[in-house]
């Protein structure tokens, strides 16, 4: 799989640009703000504490932010994790998937910003 195909699975840049009127500079700034957040660390801390209310809220927020930025891989993984938390299911696999997708997305976002 080439990098463009992998990027397409993680991020839909065209969709994001449509959403913000084609302004790539704005999109890059928004992606930079996203990277500056401690999304995974904060969520992992809440999960480790067993605070399922905060974990569900953080996951829901991550799902929304990733949808707005067209970070499709993170959004999909967030949906799965949120569902597992709400159902009281074992969420460890879903969280591991989210961490993996998040790390891969950070690499692609870094390439877009630079």
pLDDT, tens digit, 9 for 90 and up, residues 10-41: 999 999 999 999 999 999 999 999 999 989 99
pLDDT value for 22: 96
The domain spans of the chain are 3-113
55-93 b/e (C-beta count within 10 Å ≥ 16 → b): bbebbbebbebbbebbbbbbbbbbbbbbebbeeeeebee
- Is 90 exceeded by the pLDDT of residue 64? yes
CATH topology (fold) of 3-113:
1.20.120
Asked whether the whole model's pTM tops 0.75, one would answer yes
pLDDT band at 76 (very low <50, low <70, confident <90, very high): very high
């Amino acid at each position: 799989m080439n990098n463009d195909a992998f990027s397409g699975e993680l991020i839909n840049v065209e969709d994001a640009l449509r959403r913000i009127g084609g302004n790539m500079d704005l999109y890059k700034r928004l992606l930079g703000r996203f990277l500056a957040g401690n999304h995974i660390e904060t969520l992992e801390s809440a999960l480790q504490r067993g605070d399922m209310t905060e974990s569900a809220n953080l996951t829901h927020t991550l799902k929304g932010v990733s949808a707005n930025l067209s970070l499709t891989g993170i959004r999909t993984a967030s949906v799965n994790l949120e569902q597992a938390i709400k159902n009281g299911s074992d969420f460890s696999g879903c969280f591991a998937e989210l961490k993996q997708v998040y790390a891969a997305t950070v690499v692609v976002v870094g390439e877009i910003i630079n």
